[in-house]
Amino acid sequence: MNWYEKLSQYFPVEEMKSKEHMDLLLKEKKDVYKKDEGPMHVLMYVETDDFLFIDYLFVSKDARGQGLGKKLLQTMKEKQKPIILEVEPVDYEETDAEKRMRFYNREGFTHAQSIGYSRRSLATGEMTELEILFWSPENDSEESIYNKMCLTYENIHTYKDKMLYGKSYQSVDEVLTYDDQDDNDDKEPSA
């Protein structure tokens, strides 16, 4: 089974880029879009000068619980840049989503409370809501994470979408929202 088949079997169709999209990113955006593949994992990610974005992380069922996911994240953390990723909201009927969230929590990822993400799937036409998680060695603000997500959406998620899919994804302003009220809830009012 090739790397794309592994990802397609694990991730919902609403969250998957086409193979052509990923191949194009690996070719035309090879300075930032990367693939790390082994017999038991596939990691697709974006690396810029100031952050990392995990597009897809797949660990084979046979390797789960053996520390492979932790090791892959540790390698990324050693780069000392914020790491951002999108995850499905926890559905307590679907145990994989809950396990994934617990895994990322154990690895020190924070749920971005002030960032909303809702996108219409070009494959199904359905709205997909995702949660934004991040790990930051320098305690980046959620506003900084939001700005990095906007760059990722515009430069990776929607890259040549009209050519690849025959139609375009929604604009970044329709998909990503930032509510700085959540950031301010924890701060003391100034005198």
Q: What residue spans define the domains of the chain?
A: 3-184
Instruction: State the pLDDT at residue 75.
Output: 97
Q: What stretch of H or E contains 26?
A: helix 19-28
The CA-based dihedral angle spanning residues 143, 147, 152, 157, taken in that order and rounded to the nearest 10 degrees: 80
pLDDT given for residue 100 in this prediction: 83
Copy the structure tokens of residue 160: 């040549």
**For every one of its 191 residues, what pLDDT tens digit does the chain have, with 9 covering 90 and above?**
899 999 999 898 989 999 999 999 999 999 999 999 999 999 999 999 999 999 999 999 888 888 899 999 999 999 999 999 999 887 656 567 778 888 999 999 999 999 999 999 998 899 999 999 999 999 999 999 999 999 999 999 999 999 999 999 999 999 999 998 754 444 444 44
Q: Right CATH number for 3-184 from 3.40.630.30, 3.40.50.300, 3.20.20.70, 3.40.50.11750?
A: 3.40.630.30
Q: What is the pLDDT of residues 136-147, one digit of tens each?
A: 999 999 999 999
Q: pTM score, two decimals?
A: 0.90
- The separation between CA 170 and the C-alpha centre of its own chain, rounded to angstroms, equals 17
CA atoms within 13 A on the CB side of 77: 14
